[in-house]
Amino acid sequence: MRKSLCMALLATILLPACATPNRHQSPAPALPEAWSLVDGASSSRSAGEAWWSLFQDPVLDSLVADALQQNHDLEIAAARILEAEATLGITDADRYPVITANGTGSRSGLSKVSATPLFGGMPRQQNSVRWSLDASYEVDVWGKFRHATAASRAELLAAQAARDTVRLTLTAEVVQQYFNLLALDAQVSVVEEVLQSRTDSIALLRLRFESGMGSELEIRQAQAEQAAAKSQLASALKTQETLESALALLLGRSPRDVMQGRVERGHVEPMQTLWVPDGLPSDLLLRRPDIREAEQKLLAEDAKIEVARTEFFPTIALTGYLGAQSATLANLFTGPAGIFQFMLGLSQPLFNGNRLDFSVKAAEARRTQAVAAYQKAVANAFADVRNALNAQSAGREVQTAESERIVALTEALRLANVRHAAGISGRLEVLDADRQLLQARLASIAAENEQRLAVVSLFKALGGGWSPTEPALSEK
């Protein structure tokens, strides 16, 4: 009879644990089938993990390698992974028994005149030596520890995805800052060339003025344009220093190198066409590290809801000890000195002011936040791709227009010089054409740089490089 009751009790305890299905499902956002190429675009079926190597600049490759090895943000992200691994180990350890070894020794003296006098023959001084192995174990009937471990494992995967996000962001920022620096170098060269031309022009105007063929007005106008070029050059050099400092920080260089060092420069070929992925399914974006991080955080919140729900069920704990106790050390390891105890404990919450209900509601609210964060991350990913593709297209159109503008303004400047030399027009016409040509050349450099930056933004939006063997491709 007792055996039947024990079996029934055990079945009552274990059956609910076997019937705890996963109540949650990850949201399935509506995705476009694929993105389409635009007119005049080049394409590629593969771009390896080191996608920046497509720009074929060894100096850039070296700088990115330095950043991946020395950047402090990446080091912090790696340490967070180690922390998450340790947290997972701590959480998983709750699933196993706790066994401790204890040993005590004492010598005490008893009073002969206390309220509880010594019994006859009882010595006043007593010794006690004890050792034991203590064990405690909470039976994971309802899956509390199992779900807690699943939550910690998901948080570890989220930390790894966060590290990948930092890595992707770092490489993109290094490449973008490097391109900005190259573009600024080109603009500085243009301004220096124009400044030298305007300085030489002032010298010629002075000679004409001294020979009675020119006017002081023309000299003053030329000096004003020369001062404007000097101002542009000073501003560009200041921005150049700022970019070098920012890039040095990304590379993880020492404070001395940040203050005094110079970032190496290479050469990147001009971009002739747009660059977009060829025939890749849109669900490739779901492998972006920030999306994977959001998904793992959602899975962690799912598991934490189950942990909160298990608090409604009884807690079953097993405790016990095995050891020996004796008045003398010599008898401690003899048979009569042995001691042991085994206990089964059962605890069931009855009233706690709805604390457990609110705990579950709080966990469900955190899951709702995680769902929204996941959906937002997916939407942001597609917005990033769309913006990067549009930026490439717009950058190419702007660069084409600026190139045509440079051709037209170069001819206009030549004609203005001819008209001025023939006495048909004043010097102001020449200065105006020269000023417009300078702005067009600077704008053309900026447009080419914007097109390069858009390519980098596309790689960042897609989560880095890929190959035709990507899982998303094989499933398509």
Residue 157 has pLDDT above 90, yes or no: yes
Q: Tokens for 17?
A: 């644990």
Would you state the pLDDT for residue 5? 42
What integer best gives the mean pLDDT of the chain? 83
Residue 424 in domain = yes
CB 334 within 8 A of CB 326: yes
Q: How many domains does the chain have?
A: 1
- Tell me the percentage of the chain whose pLDDT exceeds 90: 38
H-only helix segments in 211-288: 216-250, 255-260
Residue 87 in domain = yes
Would you state the pLDDT for residue 48? 62
Residue 11 in domain = no
Would you state the pLDDT for residue 17? 44
Least confident segment among 30-39, 150-159, 292-301: 30-39
At a CB cut-off of 8 Å and minimum separation 6, what does 342 contact?
318, 319, 320
Tens digit of each residue's pLDDT (9 = 90 or more) over 391-401: 888 888 888 89
Q: Tokens for 401?
A: 């227009």
The amino acid at residue 49 is: E
φ/ψ (deg, to 5) at 34: -170, 165
Instruction: Tell me the residue range of the domain where 222 lies.
Output: 29-106+126-474
Average pLDDT over residues 268-286: 64
Residue 7 in domain = no
Assign 459 a pLDDT band (cuts: 50, 70, 90): confident
Residue 13 has pLDDT above 60, yes or no: no
This prediction's pTM: 0.80
Would you state the pLDDT for residue 138? 92
Residue 159 in domain = yes
Q: In whole angstroms, what separates CA 16 from the centre of its chain?
A: 40
Residue 12 in domain = no
Would you state the pLDDT for residue 47? 55
CB 31 within 8 A of CB 153: no
Residue 205 has pLDDT above 70, yes or no: yes
Assign 283 a pLDDT band (cuts: 50, 70, 90): low
Give the β-pairing of 274-277 and 41-44. Answer: parallel
Tens digit of each residue's pLDDT (9 = 90 or more) over 62-104: 999 999 999 999 999 999 999 999 999 999 999 999 999 999 9
Residue 426 has pLDDT above 80, yes or no: no
Residue 189 in domain = yes
Residue 33 has pLDDT above 70, yes or no: no
Tens digit of each residue's pLDDT (9 = 90 or more) over 37-63: 555 555 554 456 788 888 888 999 999
Please state, in angstroms and rounded to a whole number, the distance separating the CA atoms of residues 235 and 185. Answer: 12
Looking up residue 396, the CATH number of its domain turns out to be 1.20.1600.10
Average pLDDT over residues 115-126: 72
CB 446 within 8 A of CB 183: yes
Tens digit of each residue's pLDDT (9 = 90 or more) over 347-366: 999 888 899 999 999 999 99
Tens digit of each residue's pLDDT (9 = 90 or more) over 216-257: 887 888 888 889 889 989 999 998 888 888 888 888 888 777
Residue 113 has pLDDT above 50, yes or no: yes
Please state, in angstroms and rounded to a whole number, the distance separating the CA atoms of residues 219 and 222. Answer: 5
Residue 161 in domain = yes
